[in-house]
Amino acid sequence: AGELLTAPVKSGAELDFPIPVDDFAFSLHDLALQETSIGQHSAAILFCVEGEAVLRKDEQRLVLKPGESAFIGADESPVYASGTGRLARVYNKL
């Protein structure tokens, strides 16, 4: 397909793609040097699309390069993200 089938909704640095399925959500996050909170009520997978993402939870810190991902358990939300580039997130909005 040469075009998007769903129009994304921009909210600050987050680009949310409305998916017509109840138990799946997808968003892209533009990263900045200032940390931003990324949280949800479910488990999530954060995937570095481009640049370098730094994820932080309390004293733990993880650096993701393009193609690398991290699993975030539902009880570990929110995490804080900073860096350059973009981070993709898949999660459940239920």
Amino acid identity of residue 9, one-letter, is V
Q: Contact 16/8 with Cβ under 8 angstroms? A: yes
Single pTM value for the model? 0.89
Which helix (H) or strand (E) segment holds residue 17: the answer is strand 14-17
The single residue listed with the structure tokens 């459940």 is 92
User: Using the 8-state DSSP alphabet, how is residue 54 labeled?
Assistant: E
Domains of the chain: 9-91 (2.60.120.10)
- Determine the Cα–Cα distance for residues 3 and 63; give it in Å rounded to an integer: 32
* Residue with the larger pLDDT of the pair 21 and 72: 72
Query: What value does the mean pLDDT take over residues 73-90?
Result: 96
Q: What is the DSSP letter of 20?
A: S
Give me 62's structure tokens: 């993880």
Between 90 and 22, the higher pLDDT residue: 90
